[in-house]
Amino acid sequence: MAGMIDVQDLRVSFHADGRSVHAVRGVSFSVAEGESFGIVGESGSGKSTVLKAIAGLVASESSTLAVHGRPIAQRRTKADRRQLQFVFQDPYASLHPRQTADQILREPLIIHGLDRHDARIAAALDEVGLKPEHRFRYPHQLSGGQRQRVAIARALILRPPILLLDEPTSALDVSVQAEILNLIARLKQANRLTIILVSHDLGVVAHLCNRIAIMQAGKLVEVLTAEELRNGGAREAYTRELVEASRGFTRAVAAL
């Protein structure tokens, strides 16, 4: 059965200075329409690169790489871009330093020919808990979490059917994070939104996702359900290590 997103044997390598980095080494999964799929795993294991390949932002090889049954072209059409929105891991780098929040949110509305710009921008800011006073600020005049919320608002403002979220709440305090996660869950219910979420926070991933993939060194080590993750159903040692480490810092080990 074809899913909303199909990935078979995905491989991505980077080449620079005569050195090659095999960032993704044969990853396969598929995400059904309306499903939320989580990816957690080691830092540098290729999670962001998988998302970028699905968005057509890096060159990749695969036997299948398709969204909605259509192969992903590196050069995407306007319609493709509207379908799929990306919240990048690094909000500072993904926001233009010389654009205010207002301009950042207005741009996609202009590109895709939507109406009622001012009302939509005001609503998008309100949705992510930003106030009117933040609307005309530049990224460097906002706090880390406020910047991240501008990036989330930009992704949501077009109401895309597919969202790729790379650590969307890592710069947010838990109270704002709860509001954003509830917002995403509401949109998911109302619009049959398909989501891939990358996060280091197992609580966040298990909250939003039905199935969760664990990545290490460019490969998926296992895919399990949120229930399995919660109830000690992990088969791989690395997954069990992650679950253990997520329970907090233990000085006992630190003293060794």
Partner 1 sequence: MTAPLLSVENLSVSYPGRSGVTKALREASFTLGHERLGVVGESGSGKSTMGRALLGLIPKPGVVTASRMDFDGQSLLGASDADWQKLRGRRLSMIMQDPKYSLNPVRRIGDQIVETCLLHLDISRREAERRALDMLEAVKIRQPDAVFQQYPHQLSGGMGQRAMIAMMLVAEPDLLIADEPTSALDVTVQNEVLRILDDLVRNRGMGLIFISHNLNIVSSFCDRVLIMYGGRILEQISARDLGAARHPYTRALLAAAPSLDAPRATLATVTRDPAWLE
Ligand X SMILES: Nc1ncnc2c1ncn2[C@@H]1O[C@H](COP(=O)(O)OP(=O)(O)OP(=O)(O)O)[C@@H](O)[C@H]1O
Q: Which helix (H) or strand (E) holds 84?
A: strand 84-87
Q: Should residue 233 be labelled a site residue for partner 1 when binding is judged by CB under 8 A?
A: no
- Binding string, residues 43-62; x marks residues near Mg ion by CB under 5 A: -----x--------------
Write out the two tokens for 25.
Answer: 């080494």
- Of 48 and 83, nearer to partner 1 (C-beta) is 48
Q: Should residue 190 be labelled a site residue for partner 1 when binding is judged by CB under 8 A?
A: no
Distance, in Å, from the CA atom of 89 to the CA atom of 144, rounded to the nearest integer, reads 12
Q: Should residue 106 be labelled a site residue for ligand X when binding is judged by CB under 6 A?
A: no
Distance, in Å, from the CA atom of 86 to the CA atom of 88, rounded to the nearest integer, reads 6
Distance, in Å, from the CA atom of 86 to the CA atom of 18, rounded to the nearest integer, reads 31
Sole binder of ligand X in the list 89, 177, 194, 199 (CB under 6 A): 89
Indicate the DSSP class of residue 185: H
Distance, in Å, from the CA atom of 90 to the CA atom of 254, rounded to the nearest integer, reads 30
What residues from 75 to 114 belong to the interface with partner 1 (CB under 8 A)?
Answer: 89-93
Amino acid identity at 21? V
Distance, in Å, from the CA atom of 161 to the CA atom of 2, rounded to the nearest integer, reads 16
Q: What are phi and psi of 21, to 5 degrees?
A: -115, 120
- Of 33 and 227, nearer to partner 1 (C-beta) is 227
Q: Should residue 144 be labelled a site residue for ligand X when binding is judged by CB under 6 A?
A: yes
- Of 158 and 195, nearer to partner 1 (C-beta) is 195
What residues from 173 to 192 belong to the interface with ligand X (CB under 6 A)?
Answer: 173
Distance, in Å, from the CA atom of 57 to the CA atom of 63, rounded to the nearest integer, reads 18
Closest distance between partner 1 and the C-beta of residue 30, in Å? 24
Only segment of 25-33, 77-85, 144-152, 238-246 that touches ligand X (CB under 6 A):
144-152
Q: How many residues bind partner 1 (CB under 8 A)?
A: 64
Binding site for Mg ion (CB under 5 A): 48, 89, 143-144
